[in-house]
Structure 1
Amino acid sequence: MKNNRARQFLPFNGLRGFTEQLKKQEEHFEEELPLTDDEAESLNHIVPRLTRGSLIHIRYYHLNQYKTLQGYLQGIDTVHQILHLCGQSISFSHIKSIQLCSNKENCQ
């Protein structure tokens, strides 16, 4: 009985795990770096060669960190400068690198 009475005075945590998630986000913060001349030249060479269905490996900046994604290109919106890949929309301005792949084995 005494144990149950003490329990009512414990602090209530309605957002269980929220503090841990915030700390996790802070740990993975990366600053977005501008493209080097070589990276910009590489993108300028590869982007015009991309077509729907191309297998690509892409590195891009999203939510304070760099991410990589591999898959078949679903489309390119040149008006809004957005690339559609694996159900995600990636702005050209956040792309760090793109690699065209001939098959999944040589795509890294």
Structure 2
Amino acid sequence: MKHRMSRLQRAKQFMPFAALKGFETLLAAVARPKENRVELSEDQIDELNKTLQAIRCGDWVRVVYYDNHKYVEIIGPVDMISERQQILSIGKNISFSDIKTIEVFF
């Protein structure tokens, strides 16, 4: 008596096999061009400091910051701000020194 495979079992035979799981993701990350960190002018730093001093928890902000060799934008409410630790938190902690621009939505 011959054993017949179901369609699902037959389909599984022909599914692609990924011997190196995550390799394609790693390759894409390495291939991504890296951005250089921008040096802010004294005026830009002063403006950034004024904005950071005015921010309160719950304020909605748009922040462009340097993360993992590229600039990233995040928009959301401020969870926490610590002058002592030099950290702004919007769902994730962002060091003041990594911030390029910040905009507060009033």
2:93 to 68, 75, 89: 89
Q: Write the deviation string for residues 60-79 of structure 1: whole angstroms up to 9, x where unpaired.
A: 00011100000000111221
Count matched residues: 89
User: 1:67 maps to what in 2?
Assistant: 72
Q: Gapped runs of 5+ residues in structure 2?
A: 1-16
| Secondary structure at the counterpart of residue 53 of structure 2 | helix
C-alpha separation in 2, matches of 1:13 and 1:72? 40
C-alpha separation in 2, matches of 1:35 and 1:76? 21
C-alpha separation in 2, matches of 1:77 and 1:14? 45
The Cα RMSD (Å) is 1.8
Q: Write the deviation string for residues 70-101 of structure 1: whole angstroms up to 9, x where unpaired.
A: 0000111221111110x200001100010011
Structure 1 residue ranges, 4+ long, deviating more than 4 angstroms after superposition: none
Structure with higher Rg: it is 2
Percent identical among aligned pairs is: 31
| Secondary structure at the counterpart of residue 78 of structure 2 | strand
One-letter amino acid matched to 1:92: F
TM-score by length of 2: 0.74
C-alpha displacement of 1:14: 3.5
Q: Gapped runs of 5+ residues in structure 1?
A: 1-11, 103-108
TM-score by length of 1: 0.72
| Secondary structure at the counterpart of residue 79 of structure 2 | strand
| Secondary structure at the counterpart of residue 42 of structure 1 | helix
C-alpha separation in 2, matches of 1:28 and 1:77? 32
